[in-house]
Structure 1
């Protein structure tokens, strides 16, 4: 089978982890190739995600690389077995590879920490808000219904997560997307979701200064095995999946800083009238009042 031209993010990540383990073990590529009875080019293609490795061969390689039995070992074996198929397959005709990779990554995620700098995060958007956002950035609207449907389908993971923590700048909540009616429904949706016991929603207010405006949109996807956590960083016309633990740590520190400066989250166990006088719920309610 020839090397694939466009490996998925899961395939790239598995290959990157294998390369990291090989380098850490001090095993050169030629020796690794001998373990698989293959040539050096095959090892290179495996480590870039362009070729698969069978379960039996992966087990042999992981043992040779000194990867100890445990959760990380098992997670790598599972990644190699996965087919990459899921509900997102129905959208391969209209969605980019990056979007499909994101949906597959979210399906393996157990925790999410997110900062959205410009708009309400996609996992929390109403259908009308999502439609207005997508229509505003896409010139061709021939697939608009399917794009909105895909975004709403991604929201299935929300109730299955262990935790979802998001910090949204006040500016993103005051920017009118669509019209006032759409914005009111969107803000009510945020309040509704924030009352779920595993959801923490905080608003970064204007009064705390420009810190949040200096931070681009990013999401830290937590895997059941921390070594496989993934950072997703958005750029104006692209996005990156990052598996480097040092970089992820830097963004986690940035997120903690954002959360410490943001207003207190909505407490699902406290009725609205008993919330603190200056917290995320009160600010959301104030913006709702101004949108009448």
Structure 2
């Protein structure tokens, strides 16, 4: 298949996982090239995500690397092929690449877990709430940039409205319910929307109340995107410089544990809905 000049994060991840398999097998890229009958430069391009590979080629690589994990091999094979254009590609000229990569990862995720302190999760925001947030961006955004981001955020939310949507679990600190973005009317609308979404079978919303003495994760906003196998999970962290993506196994294990702790400290879904309702009534 031809080289990919602009590899997506998903393509880069496939290449990185193939590199891990090769290194686990104790092979240099030169030795792997000789074993597979290709040039070393092609191995390097594939591992960098610049060269698309077929599912059959991935299985050939896995056999050559003596990988015994059939579920992982099948999952990697499902990530192959030429670059498929998604709705998010329409925003490549207007938004940071991290937001494009995040939308693609969410599209393919089998389940999502999030933990936030002062924000409502993007997937559960109203357009008015999202617009108010983007107006607070530093440096300031032009109005057309704000509208691009609002439109992109709304389309990201489409994953929750599929015929078979992925399970979505959000742990939100009570502070986020009181932030007041956009004024009272916007806040009331946002809290009602949060209540409505929490009633969906595939959406779980749990609030960590002010009464709790600790907050696991030191208040960091976390998006945990689950892949078809745990090795292909991804963590996305918000940073002032943009999206930060993590996929090392030690990092994945750490953030799984952080989210587990957050859920343990949060109110039940029913108690969380009661709290959201009380906050809304006081506005």
Instruction: State how far apart, in whole Å, the 1-side matches of 2:95 and 2:115 are.
Output: 23
Task: Return the offset for 1:116.
Answer: 1.7
Aligned to 1:71: 71
The answer as to 2:253 corresponding to 1:261 is no
**C-alpha contact 1:205 1:263 (8 A) present in aligned 2:** yes
Q: Describe the superposition over 1:103-125 as per-residue Cα deviations: whole angstroms up to 9, x where unpaired.
A: 11111111111012221111000
**C-alpha contact 1:133 1:177 (8 A) present in aligned 2:** yes
Match of 1:285 among 270, 274, 277: 277
Task: Return the offset for 1:55.
Answer: 4.0
Task: Return the offset for 1:92.
Answer: 2.1
Aligned to 1:13: 13
Q: Give secondary structure in 1 for the equivalent of 2:144.
A: coil
Aligned to 1:168: 172
Gaps of 5+ in 1: 267-278
Aligned to 1:144: 146
**C-alpha contact 2:117 2:172 (8 A) present in aligned 1:** yes
**C-alpha contact 1:103 1:154 (8 A) present in aligned 2:** yes
Instruction: State how far apart, in whole Å, the 1-side matches of 2:22 and 2:70 are.
Output: 18
Q: Structure 2 matches for 1:57-96, cutoff 5 A?
A: 57-68=57-68, 70-81=70-81, 83-96=83-96
Gaps of 5+ in 2: none
Instruction: State how far apart, in whole Å, the 2-side matches of 1:215 and 1:65 are.
Output: 41
Task: Return the offset for 1:10.
Answer: 0.5
More displaced 10-residue stretch of structure 1: 52-61 or 154-163: 52-61
The alignment's TM-score, normalised by the length of structure 1, stands at 0.88
Aligned to 2:250: 246
Match of 2:156 among 154, 157, 161: 154
More displaced 10-residue stretch of structure 1: 201-210 or 236-245: 236-245
Q: Give secondary structure in 2 for the equivalent of 1:165.
A: strand
Task: Return the offset for 1:54.
Answer: 4.0
Q: Give secondary structure in 1 for the equivalent of 2:211.
A: helix
| RMSD after superposition | 1.9
**C-alpha contact 2:52 2:83 (8 A) present in aligned 1:** no
Instruction: State how far apart, in whole Å, the 1-side matches of 2:173 and 2:255 are.
Output: 17
Q: Structure 2 matches for 1:31-42, cutoff 5 A?
A: 31-42=31-42
Instruction: State how far apart, in whole Å, the 2-side matches of 1:284 and 1:23 are.
Output: 50
Instruction: State how far apart, in whole Å, the 2-side matches of 1:220 and 1:246 are.
Output: 14
Q: Structure 2 matches for 1:177-188, cutoff 5 A?
A: 177-188=181-192
The alignment's TM-score, normalised by the length of structure 2, stands at 0.91
Task: Label 1:134 to 1:168 Cα distance change in 2 as closer, same or farther (>3 A).
Answer: same
Instruction: State how far apart, in whole Å, the 2-side matches of 1:223 and 1:237 are.
Output: 25
